[in-house]
Homo-oligomer: A and B are copies of this chain.
Amino acid sequence: MKVAVLMGSASDKAKMAPAVEMLEQLGIEAVEEVMSAHRTPEIVSGFASQARGLGFGAIICGAGMAAHLAGAVAARTTLPVIGVPLSGSALSGVDSLNATVQMPKGFPVATVAIDGAANAALLAAEIFAVHDPAVAERLDAYRAEFANR
């Protein structure tokens, strides 16, 4: 099972790179795609609708400003959707945090910290680890590093 790492704009790649790196470090396949709830809504709609069938187990969405990407995906799948509010606008990410986390009843987005791409990946791994002891072990190993510091 793999994780999609979506971002609203190619300019978000640097901020979302830690998600891809963390997934790879944890032995989980990451598929990175640029698609926008506003610029390419049908691509988002199509991807979200088919994601489970395509073998994805979680979808990470990074977006800034009026960050609708995670919500647009969450509206079309019951896969866990993880939202990463991105800073960069005049409002320093308060706008994207509000637009990502304040979802209406029925359509949760699992929101992590502003620019928290690495944690989005860890959350995806934790989701996989619910049923996959190998991932759970790798998470434990990752955690153990903290304890040893």
Interface size class of A (residues with CB under 8 A): 35 or more
Q: Distance (Å) between the CB of A147 and the closest chain B CB?
A: 6
- The answer on a CB contact under 8 Å between B104 and A9 is yes
A3 vs B9: C-alpha distance when bound (angstroms)? 30
Which residues of chain A (25-72) have a CB below 8 Å from chain B? 36-42, 45, 52, 57-58, 64-68, 71-72
Given A89-B102, A91-B94, A102-B113, 16 other A-B residues pairs in contact with their CB atoms under 8 A: A9-B104, A38-B104, A40-B147, A65-B102, A65-B113, A79-B126, A80-B130, A90-B115, A91-B93, A95-B102, A103-B112, A103-B116, A105-B116, A106-B143, A107-B122, A108-B123
Top 4 nearest A-B pairs (CB, nearest first) are: A110-B110, A108-B119, A99-B99, A95-B98
